[in-house]
Copies of this chain bind each other. A is one copy, B any other.
Amino acid sequence: MKVKYNLIHKDNFCNARYGTLETNYGTVETPMFMPVGTKATVKMLTPDELYEAHAGVILANTYHLWLRPGEDLIDKAGGLHKFMNYKGPILTDSGGFQVFSLAKPKDITEEGVHFKSHIDGLKLFLTPEKSIEIQNKLDSDIAMCFDECPPYPVTFDYMKNSVERTLRWAKRCKDNHKNENQSLFGIVQGGEFEELRKFSAIETAKMNFDGYSIGGTSVGEDKPTMYKMIDYAIKYMPEDKVRYLMGVGDPVDLIEGVKRGVDMFDCVLSTRIARHGNAFTRYGKINLKNLKFREDFTPIEEDCDCYTCKNFTKAYIRHLVTCDESLGGRLLSIHNTRFLIKMMEEIREAIKNDSFLEYGNEFLEKYNSKK
């Protein structure tokens, strides 16, 4: 089936919205955070640990799966869900973000993008049609259009050409999308230019995609600029479709995104910082390698309901991290994933009670206090 978004309640005091998204694998609530399973594995975690964290949709990367193990193998396995044994909805990106980071300017053509594999330097060519063909075979629940991902900053003219190309590519993606069981989302680009975000949003919406995302907001600009980009885009995006802010998932940005009306987020941050010994807490990020945790026999967060906090102390996790024992990064990944998902649960409750602004302000005040 195609996903169906139901807008259930808009907060009375801001653009935050509570809704549900019906998918092939059940109905999930929004706003939501999607853990990233780059290579068909959310790093270090099993599907069961994701269920236990109350994960809804997870994300997998088309570029990485195209290279290894290849979309044909995953197709033979019966699709991505069966291959990785995840019984929840999966969204795949288009591969564009990775490919543009590997390509030189001259290798970007109207037809597609030439680049070399990051694994062995093999010359490859990714086009809108190919990206959709791969995603069709991966059989994710939601596929993304292949868009141009320009660097930041660029000139207005550069961005205008890029936005127009992304629209032409979006049409090619739509025309080539064959998987009836898979939804296809369009992507709004336009950088920091209000006029182009508006143009991109309106023209993309005309193509009637199953959902829409905001792209190009996590490419190195400062935070106020990122929030501005969201503002510019979102007011022209359809209210009756789900809205996804790509590649954003810092706790602060989750608050700022939700406030502006975003429904879906993804980010590798929670698991990446975990592998480097960091944990999210209500009072900001902490690094477990810090000597002050050596004799701290309390959990990362006393009131956290994750497996890690219910079973292990900071002193023990510090020991694991210090000794490069992978269980350390795993326990931190469990906590950080649950932290963001729990945060979204609270956010949804706040929206239902028209108190999101209050929730957000309280959260940010604590989070930035670095107790």
Contacts and interface: CB of A to CB of B under 8 A. Distances in A.
Interface string A309-327: 0011101101110110111
Given A76-B295, A295-B76, A69 B311 contact: no
Contact of A322 (B45, B68, B311): B68
Interface residues of A, number: 39
A311 B85 contact: yes
A44 B312 contact: no
Interface in A190-226: none
A326 B77 contact: no
Contact of A45 (B295, B313, B323, B327): B327
Contact of A73 (B78, B294, B307, B320): B294
A234 to B, nearest CB: 35
Contacts of A69: 294, 315, 318-319, 322
A83 interface: yes
Contact of A316 (B85, B311, B316, B325): B85
B327 A83 contact: no
A77 B315 contact: yes
A44 B297 contact: no
Contacts of A98: none
Contacts of A48: 307
A323 B68 contact: yes
A134 interface: no
A83 B307 CA distance: 16
Nearest to A47: B311
A228 interface: no
A315 B83 contact: yes
A363 B307 CA distance: 38
A46 interface: yes
B44 A326 contact: yes
Contact of A76 (B43, B297, B329): B297
B319 A68 contact: yes
B295 A46 contact: no
A326 B45 CA distance: 9
Nearest to A322: B68
A295 B70 CA distance: 11
A113 interface: no
Given A315-B69, A316-B85, A325 B43 contact: yes
Among A307, A320, A326, the one with the most B-chain Cβ atoms within 10 Å of its Cβ is A326
A41 interface: yes
A137 to B, nearest CB: 15
Contacts of A78: 297
A39 B323 contact: yes
B76 A327 contact: no
A144 interface: no
Contact of A40 (B44, B77, B319): B319
A327 B77 contact: no
A64 to B, nearest CB: 8
Nearest to A77: B297
Given A43-B327, A326-B43, A316 B83 contact: yes
Q: Which 9 A-B pairs have the closest CB atoms?
A: A69-B319, A41-B327, A41-B325, A39-B323, A85-B311, A44-B326, A326-B326, A68-B323, A77-B297
Given A73-B295, A73-B319, A77-B315, 12 more contacts: A39-B319, A40-B319, A41-B320, A43-B325, A43-B327, A44-B326, A46-B330, A68-B319, A68-B323, A83-B313, A85-B316, A330-B330
